[in-house]
Structure 1
């Protein structure tokens, strides 16, 4: 989806007056679900900013590429790849994700004691942060849901949703910002970890049955590869676009929606968690994401679509290496021939 935006942005810029976020109708990118202007990547939210000018310059150079690699796969974004067929060759070679290390840790040791598919993993990526008010609403919503959860908590920030990228870890324990009595009331069915958890290991664990995520692309792919349905809670960058794809395009996520006060309230949090983990709609999402999981595995296997796409490119590189370079080893004086 993001590539579709970049390839379309020069034309979209030329025919749009004002800010994208103020458009009365949807933005229709080739091969993608309809988006709101407010869903577009952060630099598109202020066209007078230098960040937008830089993005537009970069996007204008994309059609000059000889080929573009995308960490995605046909079963997830096939319509988009089809729509982009008239431009530079696009090679879908994913989903390429980090393999979890088998080492034990606090998170996996706790998960070992939980029933299969019973735990919601809540994490907002490497940089995602919530305000104190939102942190409180999320905590009380998790408590009210009655579901098991493993939650990575960071120190709240009132300034920006990606604050963890720009701050150092201080001595102040983020757990101290949780509502009074929350840890005691949820003891036994919830585990709170400060700042970090081994996400790939958590998502691959049999006890993990849902993922509340900021919708960063790596996190999305890790969830799909492990067959885990999601609650999409985008914060910044292209995450709103990813959330739209997950909820309305491939149907493997529920979408968290800020209310009039700008917060995702505790009642909505509890409803989303119960729906994903304990209701029929959640079961349907789980079935869809497991079908995607199987398609992802097939695509990466020898002879699969992603494997073939990469092999085709490599074969082309090999075929173009026809110039013979002859040299002599300075030690043995033997002739050395290399194709470059």
Structure 2
């Protein structure tokens, strides 16, 4: 079968034939897909045709489950299957499997025009994942279609992406710039220390870095950038982007967050081995039964996302810290990057003795967890998190303070944003993937106990939640941004 085969699964006649038709082109990884699914379902409720390019096969089982759940729950959304051209992974030894998927998609992007041009009804606009921006925007322009970028991380991270190529150009012109990347002073936003940059950016030959630079340069050619944040959470970064301080002439920036989950997208960033919601909800959940037995605000929820695997040595220190804190805890344990490879049992990782000692106040699982439902539960009082942006936004919406322990990628920038926005606190000295050293269980236990007892942290998180609710309510900043975007869609 050709790489660009279209398989339409639309239900005809559901919408007015004159409605706008938006083709969504997501990439890979649950942190990228979840905001896409949430935005697609939100947009489809506004009399807009939505179609989704579905790349086969998916990298993870979670991705396959979520795609299936999306199309089952929203049959009006059109599915467009895309079979990738082969990529020789041996040319990128040791590369992250999701970075490889992004590269394969970029190299297949010239075939997207066949799917877009052949879609029915006629496509009127394209929304692409930021990881594919440099290759999808030219395709859309060739077809004379407006192209927006859905940015799945913070506005602070967006400012770095947009400015990083300019930073490199300036360093190239500066003789003193030979000594590494250095700190990045983003105009109108803040100075980002080199140590807080995504690890891959320290190597200009890294696959991710090349993708990052290409996409950063391409943003100025987009018709707009959609960001899952809200003005009260990141006022400085959003103002600097919109005012052209970061990059002169930057496209319109729509802060449309916080995007709400749908029945098909409620399996979130914190899950270890995720399954679709419909399957999970068909039987009673021992997790929620356990939470229901705990006092209000007494449980520390611990999850480090769908992409971050912590070393076994650090996992054991985390276990010691949770035990030493004296707090109740729900821990979603993850040991691999790709869920299809995650076969170890909890007792294999943490040992029967630990599980036996904490059985009356701790629950550890490697199964699917509906993270937003956990964060909304009255028993949860703190979220020990890697500060992936989906986790940050979900916790902010629910008013649960984060104790941020960034590990990888954009997570330190997210931690900067969440702390300044009042959504939690960031442990700046705690270890970063690739750095030497392990955070001791004693220190983890002390910080968890202190954060659980900190009334000021809880109050700031509650205010952030109130601001998030205002943003999406009728007349709020995110509500108006969404309406402005929909208005432009219908005018094209």
- Give the TM bin, normalised by the shorter chain: 0.7 to 0.9
Q: Distance in 1 between matches of 2:188 and 2:392?
A: 19
2:161 corresponds to which residue?
6
- After superposition, the Cα gap between the structure-2 partners of 1:30 and 1:120, relative to the gap in structure 1 and judged at 3 Å, is farther
- After superposition, the Cα gap between the structure-2 partners of 1:58 and 1:49, relative to the gap in structure 1 and judged at 3 Å, is same
Matched, 1:89 2:252: yes
How far the C-alpha of 1:167 sits from its partner, in A, is: 4.6
Task: Report if aligned partners of 2:421, 2:464 keep a CA contact under 8 Å in 1.
Answer: no
Task: Report if aligned partners of 1:154, 1:195 keep a CA contact under 8 Å in 2.
Answer: no
The equivalent position to 1:221 in structure 2, one of 381, 385, 393, is 393
Task: Report if aligned partners of 1:121, 1:151 keep a CA contact under 8 Å in 2.
Answer: yes
2:338 corresponds to which residue?
165
Counterpart of 1:76 in 2: which secondary structure?
coil
- After superposition, the Cα gap between the structure-2 partners of 1:270 and 1:298, relative to the gap in structure 1 and judged at 3 Å, is same
**Residues 78-227 of structure 1 correspond to what in structure 2 (within 5 A)?**
78-85=235-242, 86=244, 87-99=250-262, 103=281, 104-155=284-335, 163-165=336-338, 167-170=340-343, 172-179=344-351, 181-227=353-399
Counterpart of 2:191 in 1: which secondary structure?
coil
How far the C-alpha of 1:20 sits from its partner, in A, is: 5.2
How far the C-alpha of 1:51 sits from its partner, in A, is: 2.7
Query: Once the two structures are superposed, what CA deviation does each residue of 1:256-286 show, in whole Å capped at 9, x if it has no partner?
Result: 63368521211210111011112xxx22111
Task: Report if aligned partners of 1:75, 1:295 keep a CA contact under 8 Å in 2.
Answer: yes
Counterpart of 1:94 in 2: which secondary structure?
coil
- After superposition, the Cα gap between the structure-2 partners of 1:251 and 1:30, relative to the gap in structure 1 and judged at 3 Å, is farther
Q: Distance in 2 between matches of 1:232 and 1:19?
A: 30
Q: Name the TM-score, length of structure 1 as normaliser.
A: 0.83
2:487 corresponds to which residue?
315
- After superposition, the Cα gap between the structure-2 partners of 1:73 and 1:37, relative to the gap in structure 1 and judged at 3 Å, is same
Task: Report if aligned partners of 1:4, 1:29 keep a CA contact under 8 Å in 2.
Answer: yes
- After superposition, the Cα gap between the structure-2 partners of 1:46 and 1:119, relative to the gap in structure 1 and judged at 3 Å, is same
How far the C-alpha of 1:105 sits from its partner, in A, is: 1.1
Larger of the two Rg values belongs to structure: 1
1:69 corresponds to which residue?
226
Unaligned residue ranges in structure 2 (runs of 5+): 1-155, 172-176, 245-249, 267-276
Task: Report if aligned partners of 1:30, 1:84 keep a CA contact under 8 Å in 2.
Answer: no
The equivalent position to 2:209 in structure 1, one of 52, 67, 73, is 52
2:184 corresponds to which residue?
27
- After superposition, the Cα gap between the structure-2 partners of 1:232 and 1:194, relative to the gap in structure 1 and judged at 3 Å, is same
Task: Report if aligned partners of 2:395, 2:401 keep a CA contact under 8 Å in 1.
Answer: yes
1:329 corresponds to which residue?
none
How far the C-alpha of 1:175 sits from its partner, in A, is: 2.8
Task: Report if aligned partners of 2:164, 2:184 keep a CA contact under 8 Å in 1.
Answer: no
Q: Distance in 2 between matches of 1:54 and 1:254?
A: 28
The equivalent position to 1:266 in structure 2, one of 441, 448, 451, is 441
Task: Report if aligned partners of 2:395, 2:423 keep a CA contact under 8 Å in 1.
Answer: no
Q: Distance in 2 between matches of 1:30 and 1:108?
A: 46
How far the C-alpha of 1:302 sits from its partner, in A, is: 1.2
Structure 1 residue ranges (4+ consecutive) displaced by more than 6 angstroms after TM superposition: none
- After superposition, the Cα gap between the structure-2 partners of 1:44 and 1:18, relative to the gap in structure 1 and judged at 3 Å, is farther
Query: Once the two structures are superposed, what CA deviation does each residue of 1:309-340 show, in whole Å capped at 9, x if it has no partner?
Result: 1111222333x34xxxxxxxxxxxxxxxxxxx
Q: Which has the higher contact order (CA 8 A, sep 6+)?
A: 1
- After superposition, the Cα gap between the structure-2 partners of 1:2 and 1:143, relative to the gap in structure 1 and judged at 3 Å, is same
Counterpart of 2:192 in 1: which secondary structure?
coil
Q: Distance in 1 between matches of 2:161 and 2:460?
A: 28
Task: Report if aligned partners of 2:299, 2:381 keep a CA contact under 8 Å in 1.
Answer: yes
Query: Once the two structures are superposed, what CA deviation does each residue of 1:173-223 show, in whole Å capped at 9, x if it has no partner?
Result: 133221552112112111111244221111110100000111111111111
2:90 corresponds to which residue?
none
1:42 corresponds to which residue?
199
Q: CA RMSD in A?
A: 2.2
